[in-house]
Amino acid sequence: MVHHPRGGDRRYAGSGVGHRGDRDTGYHNRALAARPGEGPAAEMEGEPVSGIDIKNLTKRYGALTVLKDINLTVRAGEFVAIVGPSGCGKSTLLKIIAGLEKGSGDVLVGGRPVQGPDSRHILVLQEHALYPWRTVEENISLGPEIQGWPEAKRKERVNQLIEAVGLSGFNHYYPHQISGGMCQRVSLARAFIMEPEVLLLDEPFGALDALTRMDLQQQLLRLWQMRSATVVLVTHDVEEALLLADTVMVMEGHPGRFAGRFAISLPRPERRRASEIVNLKSEILDLLCRPNAAMLTAQAC
């Protein structure tokens, strides 16, 4: 069912998946029908470890309200994407979940209030932030070194992840010797080696060319399915969100708040050419370009 903020319901074959119901959210709520044995739980190879629950979150910087009355539930092991215009508070929301900033309201991860940064909750930014004096394998092994992992275990896990992200043979290269896309692969491996309960991704592929971006999207999905983390991805790319996520949340700005929710249960290999995804992309762009949404570029609208 789709709930329109200005009244009227349209019915679809799908039903809501997880999260609060239409009457509770007050925003555009859309779900594609699930097929038996599909969805996030079916795709996981391991057990989900942690979920996120945000209630009545508001964030202000002085007189400026950046986020207002944010409510969001992310199931353990779920992949959620958040799309919205620049300046609507997407990155601020990630920082609050990561414990880097605070707002009013409740933010729980794994049923525990977020009090500050936590090694189980990893934030990956658009810039790779690798240490230039450390090699590929040394950058990936930084977290385990800090936590005192035995050397044998550390090397084994590093080599596994280097192979998983397609960097075999580049173990001893430095960041300046490899491409931007390869550096971002190192960032993903460095995040996943810590076996995070929650992985927060802030436009991790935004600066990459289209082909590299597509390849890294697939690498991310493979790592997610291997490690069973709960993932929240912030992106400006609606198509990327629809191809990767179980649920797409749409934000509008000034102040930032959710305007819609789209639950997707189509198998990921089928999504790129599926007519349902094409229609959803158009529907989300229409929602983003409403008169009361923050301004987007002419190309997007």
Domains of the chain in start order, with CATH, are: 34-120+199-236+243-288 (3.40.50.300), 121-195 (no CATH)
Mean pLDDT to the nearest integer, 110-123: 91
- Classify burial at 19, counting beta carbons within 10 Å of its beta carbon; exposed 0-12, middle 13-18, buried 19 or more: buried
Q: Report whether pLDDT(114) > 50.
A: yes
pLDDT tens-digit profile of 205-261? 887 888 888 888 988 998 898 878 999 999 999 999 999 999 999 999 889 999 999
Q: CA dihedral defined by 173, 192, 218, 41, rounded to 10 degrees?
A: 170
Closest to 241 in 3D by CA, of 84, 110, 10: 84
The confidence score (pLDDT) of residue 125 equals 83
User: Is the pLDDT confidence value at 292 over 70?
Assistant: no
* pTM for this prediction: 0.80
| Res 116 pLDDT > 60 | yes
pLDDT category of residue 59 using cuts at 50, 70 and 90: very high
CA gap 102, 96 in Å, rounded: 6
